[in-house]
C-alpha cells in the first residue's frame, strides 16, 4: 500500500507541476496578447473599420478682391494633418468656379461607404438671405443674381455629405471681413441690403454632424498676422491629441482663439453628434515587463499609454513636401524644434528650385515611408516625351470629352491639371493631375471618334476657306483684266469728255446770267408801274382836298 501511495503521490505532484507551468506561461503571454489585441483594435479603429474622407479648400489669390495671406497655408497644413490621421484628402488651392465644381464632384465620388466625412474651407464667404456661399478666386459680384453663378452654396456640399448616415464634420474659416459683402450691399440699396449679413449665417446641422465656425454668427473672424489664422492654428495644435474627443477639442480650440485675439473672436459650433468622435484614439499598451501575479489578490499592472510626439508627427507629415508654406508652418509652431534647421534649409532649397507640386504628391509623400522610393507623378508624365503639340492634342481630347482645360495651347496649367484629375477620377483611378503613358493612350483612344470628327470638320473648314480665297483671287484678277482692257479707250475719250464738260458748264453759267438779267428787268418794270400808280393816287387825293376847300 505504501508503494501504491507513493506512486499516486508522484503522479499528483507531476500533474500539479504541469498545471503550474501552464499558468506561469499564460501569465507571461498575457501582456503580449493584450498588447497585440489593443494594437490590432486601434489600427482597426483608425484605418480598417473606419473609412475617413475629407475635402480641403483654401482660397487666397482673389482676382477682384485683396489677397488673403493665410487660407492656402491653412489648407495645406490641415490637409497634411488629416492625411496623417487616416483621411483620404481631396485638396484644392486657389480654385476658380469651374475648378470648385470639379473638385466637389471628385469629393462626392469618395463619399459612398465612408464612415466619416469632413469639409474644411478657408477663404472668403458670404451670407445672403440666410444662405452661405463659398467664394472662388475669380468671382465678380455686381448684384445678388451673380451669387448663383459666381458662388458655391455651402448647403450643396453638406447635402451630399448627409445622404448616408455617418459622422459629418464641417470647419469653416470663412467669416473674414470681405469686400464682396460690402460691394453687394451697395449695389442693392439701403432697403434690400439688409439681406446681406456680416460673416456667415448659422445653419441647422444635420443629425450626427458638427458644424464649426471660426467665430460667432454674423461676426467677422481675423485672418491673423502669422502663417495661419487664429482658428486654424488652434485646430492644428489640438486635432491630433490622442484620446481627446472632438467636443473636448473644441473647448481647447475656443480657449486658444479667445486668448490669441484678446477675446475679440470666439469660435461657434452646432453639434448634433450622437456619439463621441476621436481624430486620434488613445492606444493603450500593457507593460510587457509585468510578470505573473504573486497571488490571486494582487491586481494586474495598469496599462501604459504611449504618448504621441506632436512635433514628430507634424514633421513626418511635411518632410517630403514641396510647399515652403508647410515648412514655415512648422517653424512658426516649433521655432526651436528638433527639425528647425532642416525646415529652414528646405525652404531655401525650394526658393532656389521652385517646383510644381501636384495635388496628390504631398499625399503620396506623407503616406509613404522614407525607405520607399516613389517616382513623382510629374516625372512619370515627363518620361512620356509629349511635345507641345502632343499636349495640345491631349487638351483637345479632354475638351471634347467634356472636361474644361481652359484652352488647347499645349501648356498644362492649373485648369488642365484639374481636368486631368477629374478624368482620372471618373475612370476610378487615383487623381494625380498627371498622365502616365497608359493613361495618355487611353485618353486619346477614348476621344478617338470625337477627334476624328473634329479633324474632318477642320479639314472641311480649311477647304472652304481655301475655295473662298481662290474665288476672291479669281475675281480680283478678272477685275484687273477689265481695267486693263478699257484703259486705252478711256484715255482717248478723256479730252473730248473734258471739253464737253467745260462747254456744258459755260452754257449753264450763261443761262443763269440770262435768268438773273430777266429777273432784274422784271423787277425794274414792276417798280416803275408801282411808282406811276402812286403818283396817280397822290394827284387824286390833292384834287379831292381842293374840292373840299
User: Count of residues for the chain?
Assistant: 549
What distance in Å separates the CA atoms of residue 129 and residue 506, rounded to the nearest whole number?
85
Give the least confident one: 202-216, 249-263, 362-376, 409-423. Answer: 362-376
The arithmetic mean of pLDDT across residues 482-499, rounded, is 61
**Per-domain boundaries in the chain:** 38-288+301-308, 311-373, 377-446
| Phi, psi (degrees; rounded to nearest 5) at 200 | -115, 155
pLDDT band at 56 (very low <50, low <70, confident <90, very high): very high
- Express each pLDDT in 6-46 by its tens digit: 444 444 445 556 566 655 655 555 555 555 554 444 444 44
Q: What is the pLDDT of residue 306?
A: 45
Bridging pattern class, strands 87-93 and 52-58? parallel
Residues pairing with 213 in the sheet: 172, 268
The arithmetic mean of pLDDT across residues 270-284, rounded, is 83
Give the least confident one: 48-52, 53-57, 412-416, 427-431. Answer: 48-52
- Express each pLDDT in 325-357 by its tens digit: 888 888 888 888 888 888 888 888 888 765 444
Is 354 strand, coil or helix? Answer: coil
Give the least confident one: 87-91, 179-183, 392-396. Answer: 179-183
pLDDT band at 509 (very low <50, low <70, confident <90, very high): confident
Please state the separation of Cα 156 from the chain's center in Å.
Answer: 15
The more confidently predicted of residues 215 and 299 is: 215
Q: What is the pLDDT of residue 95?
A: 94
Q: Does residue 339 contact residue 315 with C-beta atoms inside 8 Å?
A: yes
Whether the pLDDT of residue 293 is over 50: the answer is no
Q: What is the pLDDT of residue 116?
A: 95
Distances (CA, A) of 464 to 21, 175, 514: 98, 57, 65
What distance in Å separates the CA atoms of residue 380 and residue 214, rounded to the nearest whole number?
40
Q: Does residue 55 contact residue 103 with C-beta atoms inside 8 Å?
A: yes
Is 127 strand, coil or helix? Answer: strand
Q: What is the pLDDT of residue 136?
A: 93
Q: What is the pLDDT of residue 2?
A: 42
Please state the separation of Cα 3 from the chain's center in Å.
Answer: 92
pLDDT band at 397 (very low <50, low <70, confident <90, very high): very high
Q: What is the pLDDT of residue 304?
A: 42
Q: Does residue 169 contact residue 210 with C-beta atoms inside 8 Å?
A: yes
Q: Does residue 364 contact residue 378 with C-beta atoms inside 8 Å?
A: no
Whether the pLDDT of residue 150 is over 60: the answer is yes
The more confidently predicted of residues 22 and 217 is: 217
Give the least confident one: 124-133, 229-238, 482-491. Answer: 482-491
Q: What is the pLDDT of residue 140?
A: 82
Give the relative orientation of helices 324-333 and 71-84 as an angle to the nearest 10 degrees.
80
CB-count exposure of residue 319 (10 Å: 0-12, 13-18, 19+): middle
Q: What is the pLDDT of residue 517?
A: 81
Q: What is the pLDDT of residue 493?
A: 53
The arithmetic mean of pLDDT across residues 100-109, rounded, is 94
CATH level 3 topology of 38-288+301-308: Rossmann fold (3.40.50)
The more confidently predicted of residues 465 and 369 is: 465
The arithmetic mean of pLDDT across residues 396-419, rounded, is 89
Q: Does residue 343 contact residue 227 with C-beta atoms inside 8 Å?
A: no
The arithmetic mean of pLDDT across residues 496-524, rounded, is 75
Q: What is the pLDDT of residue 147?
A: 76
Q: What is the pLDDT of residue 211?
A: 93
Question: In this structure, what C-alpha cell is assigned to residue 287?
Answer: 507593460
Q: What is the pLDDT of residue 312?
A: 76
Whether the pLDDT of residue 410 is over 50: the answer is yes
- Express each pLDDT in 69-88 by its tens digit: 889 999 999 999 999 999 99
Q: What is the pLDDT of residue 544?
A: 59
Q: What is the pLDDT of residue 146?
A: 76
Q: What is the pLDDT of residue 205?
A: 73
Amino acid at each position: 500500500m505504501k508503494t501504491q501511495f507513493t506512486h499516486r503521490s508522484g503522479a499528483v505532484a507531476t500533474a500539479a507541476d504541469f498545471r503550474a507551468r501552464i499558468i506561469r506561461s499564460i501569465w507571461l503571454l498575457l501582456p503580449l496578447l493584450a498588447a497585440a489585441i489593443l494594437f490590432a483594435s486601434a489600427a482597426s479603429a483608425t484605418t480598417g473599420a473606419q473609412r475617413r474622407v475629407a475635402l480641403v479648400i483654401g482660397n487666397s489669390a482673389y482676382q477682384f478682391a485683396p489677397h488673403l495671406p493665410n487660407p492656402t497655408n491653412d489648407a495645406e497644413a490641415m490637409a497634411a494633418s488629416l492625411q496623417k490621421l487616416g483621411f483620404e484628402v481631396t485638396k484644392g488651392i486657389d480654385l476658380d468656379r469651374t475648378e470648385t465644381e470639379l473638385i466637389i464632384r471628385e469629393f462626392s465620388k469618395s463619399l459612398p461607404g465612408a464612415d466619416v466625412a469632413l469639409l474644411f474651407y478657408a477663404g472668403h464667404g458670404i451670407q445672403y438671405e440666410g444662405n452661405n456661399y463659398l467664394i472662388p478666386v475669380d468671382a465678380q459680384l455686381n448684384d445678388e443674381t451673380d451669387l448663383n453663378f459666381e458662388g458655391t452654396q455651402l448647403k450643396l456640399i453638406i447635402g451630399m455629405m448627409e445622404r448616408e448616415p455617418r459622422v459629418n464634420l464641417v470647419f469653416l474659416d470663412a467669416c473674414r471681413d470681405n469686400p464682396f459683402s460690402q460691394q453687394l450691399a451697395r449695389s442693392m440699396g439701403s432697403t434690400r441690403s439688409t439681406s446681406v449679413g456680416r460673416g456667415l449665417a448659422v445653419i441647422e446641422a444635420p443629425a450626427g454632424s458638427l458644424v464649426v465656425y471660426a467665430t460667432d454668427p454674423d461676426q467677422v473672424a481675423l485672418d491673423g498676422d502669422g502663417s495661419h489664422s487664429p482658428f486654424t492654428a488652434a485646430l492644428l495644435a489640438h486635432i491630433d491629441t490622442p484620446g481627446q474627443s472632438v467636443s473636448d477639442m473644441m473647448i481647447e480650440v475656443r480657449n486658444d482663439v479667445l486668448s490669441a485675439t484678446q477675446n475679440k473672436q470666439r469660435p461657434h459650433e452646432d453639434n448634433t453628434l450622437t456619439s463621441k468622435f476621436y481624430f486620434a484614439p488613445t492606444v493603450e499598451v500593457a507593460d510587457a515587463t509585468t510578470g505573473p501575479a504573486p497571488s490571486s489578490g494582487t491586481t494586474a499592472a495598469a496599462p501604459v499609454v504611449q504618448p504621441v510626439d506632436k512635433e514628430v508627427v507634424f514633421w513626418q507629415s511635411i518632410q517630403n513636401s514641396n510647399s515652403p508654406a508647410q515648412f514655415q508652418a512648422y517653424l512658426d509652431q516649433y521655432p526651436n524644434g528638433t527639425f528647425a534647421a532642416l525646415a529652414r534649409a528646405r525652404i531655401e532649397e525650394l526658393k532656389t528650385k521652385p517646383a510644381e507640386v501636384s495635388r496628390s504628391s504631398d499625399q503620396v509623400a506623407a503616406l509613404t515611408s522614407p525607405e520607399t522610393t516613389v517616382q513623382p507623378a510629374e516625372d512619370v508624365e515627363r518620361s512620356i516625351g509629349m511635345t507641345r503639340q502632343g499636349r495640345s492634342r491631349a487638351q483637345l481630347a479632354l475638351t471634347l470629352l467634356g472636361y474644361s482645360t481652359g484652352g488647347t495651347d499645349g501648356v498644362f496649367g492649373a485648369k488642365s491639371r484639374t481636368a486631368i484629375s477629374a478624368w482620372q477620377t471618373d475612370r476610378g483611378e487615383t487623381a494625380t493631375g498627371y498622365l502616365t503613358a497608359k493613361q495618355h493612350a487611353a485618353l486619346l483612344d477614348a476621344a478617338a471618334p470625337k477627334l476624328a470628327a473634329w479633324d474632318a470638320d477642320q479639314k472641311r473648314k480649311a477647304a472652304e476657306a481655301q475655295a473662298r480665297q481662290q474665288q476672291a483671287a479669281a475675281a480680283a484678277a478678272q477685275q484687273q483684266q477689265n481695267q486693263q482692257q478699257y484703259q486705252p479707250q478711256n484715255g482717248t475719250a478723256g479730252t473730248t469728255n473734258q471739253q464737253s464738260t467745260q462747254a456744258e458748264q459755260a452754257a449753264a453759267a450763261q443761262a443763269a446770267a440770262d435768268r438773273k438779267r430777266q429777273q432784274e428787268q422784271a423787277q425794274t418794270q414792276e417798280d416803275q408801274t408801282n411808282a406811276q400808280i402812286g403818283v396817280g393816287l397822290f394827284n387824286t387825293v390833292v384834287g379831292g382836298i381842293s374840292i373840299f376847300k
